[in-house]
Amino acid sequence: MDLLGTKSLLLIVSFVPFISLSHHDNILQEIQTKNIPVEESHASSMHEEIKEADDLTHEQIKGLTEKFMDILVQETNQENRVLSYNTKDQLVQELKSIASLSLAKKYVDLYYKERNQQLYIIPTETPPWFIPDNSYDIQTENGQATIVQSNSSELYGNYKIRIEFKYKEQKGWVIHNVYYP
């Protein structure tokens, strides 16, 4: 069976049925408590003019959250080697187009490792995530938006996800942080 061209994180759940439920709780805890430094502000960002941000729409939320997962879940070969990137930094830079640097680093560090100048996915399940068809609460103010959604899945049971978005003049809306309150 040729696994080239498939999305590894999605396949691994069906191929690794022996993962204990406590491991799923650990994923949530590790995502929340990963000690990643807060994104440093650059001198140039202090001088950016604040542009009036449009309200964050459902289509933008759906597009950003789907693109985040599409980038996070990379195609691999049978040995779990990532086909499109060779380093964590390359993958972080790709995620940084739609997310904060600190968030991109947190997720890449959790799901990937480098070995012999190659990037490998760590076999595990995808994180609990935003479900576009489910209802959610949203608050938008001054170029920032927060959505809160309650979901349920077989893998994680009942969970709540809070996603913070920020409006950046050069990029538009980006995912700033993700919490599981």
Residues 166-176: tens digit of each pLDDT: 999 989 999 99
Contact criterion met (CB below 8 Å) for 122 and 152 = no
Task: Give the rounded percent of residues in the chain with a pLDDT score beyond 70.
Answer: 71
* % residues pLDDT > 90 (the chain): 69
CB 8 within 8 A of CB 15: no
Query: What type of residue is 66?
Result: E
Residue of higher predicted confidence among 146 and 32: 146
C-alpha 104/C-alpha 92 separation (Å) is 5
3-state secondary structure of 117: coil
Residue 131 predicted with pLDDT over 60: yes
Q: Which residue has the higher pLDDT, 42 or 145?
A: 145
Q: Is 76 helix (H, G, I), strand (E, B) or coil?
A: strand
Band (90; pLDDT cuts 50, 70, 90): very high
Q: 151 is written with which tokens?
A: 């979901």
Query: Over the stretch 108-121, which tens digit does the pLDDT of each residue have?
Result: 999 999 999 999 99
pLDDT band per the 50, 70, 90 thresholds, residue 54: confident
pTM of the complete model beyond 0.85? no
Beta strands in the chain (DSSP E): 6-7, 75-76, 112-115, 118-121, 137-141, 144-153, 157-168, 172-179
